[in-house]
């Protein structure tokens, strides 16, 4: 943003709490976000009380979710800039999300699809954005991982079906032999 305090002006204009997008902090010269709330005096907004949150806090939140290590998770702001990322956050925080995901984010609050991460990994990903703050989260599972799981499941199902088919054939043969013996007994008696 052009002015370091641009994110606070909506608090005074609307009298509502505001969640900023990422911005460069003039104090630390690092990317941060803030949550600012109005302080009312005699029904009028006189002050803004805010807390500054560095992106590392979002990284900690992602790690606390204990997602599988090969999954991709990201937190992004209202401008679709990455605030946290499960893989290589130092390299990607502050950059826009991947193009395919960006197009989806611009169209809806929630969605899913097949995208390619910023480091070139094809993933199946779902995202959700808050209608209040416009911040969002995305989780992607590598396509190769899902396909391997599907192949393993399909192989297990195939083996199960083959075993059931073989058991069905054996049972049908046993029943046919039993019926055949019964007919032989009836024929001999006749």
| Confidence at residue 80, expressed as pLDDT on a 0 to 100 scale | 94
pLDDT digits (tens, 9 = 90+) for 89-119: 889 999 999 999 999 999 999 999 999 999 8
Angle at CA of residue 37, ends 33 and 38, nearest 5°: 140
- Residue found by looking up tokens 């009836």 in the block: 186
| CB of 83 closer than 8 Å to CB of 102 | no
pLDDT digits (tens, 9 = 90+) for 13-72: 989 999 999 998 888 889 999 999 999 999 899 999 999 999 889 988 888 888 898 999
Distance (Å, rounded) from C-alpha 23 to C-alpha 145?
36
Q: Which two tokens stand for residue 179?
A: 């019926």
pTM (two decimals) = 0.71
pLDDT digits (tens, 9 = 90+) for 161-178: 877 877 777 777 778 777
Question: In terms of C-beta density within 10 A (0-12 exposed, 13-18 middle, 19 or more buried), how is residue 178 classed?
Answer: exposed
Distances (CA, A) of 29 to 24, 94, 114, 144: 6, 13, 36, 39
């Amino acid at each position: 943003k052009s002015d370091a305090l641009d994110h606070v002006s909506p608090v005074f204009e609307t009298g509502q709490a505001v969640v900023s997008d990422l911005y460069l902090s003039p104090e630390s010269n690092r990317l941060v976000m803030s949550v600012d709330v109005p302080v009312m005096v005699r029904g009028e907004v006189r002050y803004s009380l805010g807390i500054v949150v560095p992106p590392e806090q979002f990284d900690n939140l992602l790690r606390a979710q204990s997602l599988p290590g090969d999954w991709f998770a990201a937190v992004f702001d209202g401008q679709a800039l990455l605030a946290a990322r499960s893989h290589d956050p130092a390299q990607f925080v502050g950059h826009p999300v991947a193009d395919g995901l960006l197009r989806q984010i611009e169209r809806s609050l929630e969605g899913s699809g097949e995208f390619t991460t910023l480091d070139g990994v094809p993933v199946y990903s779902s995202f959700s954005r808050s209608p209040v703050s416009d911040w969002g989260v995305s989780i992607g599972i590598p396509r190769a991982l899902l396909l391997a799981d599907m192949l393993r499941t399909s192989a297990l199902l195939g083996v199960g079906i083959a075993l059931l088919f073989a058991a069905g054939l054996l049972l049908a043969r046993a029943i046919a032999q039993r019926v055949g013996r019964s007919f032989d007994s009836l024929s001999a008696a006749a």
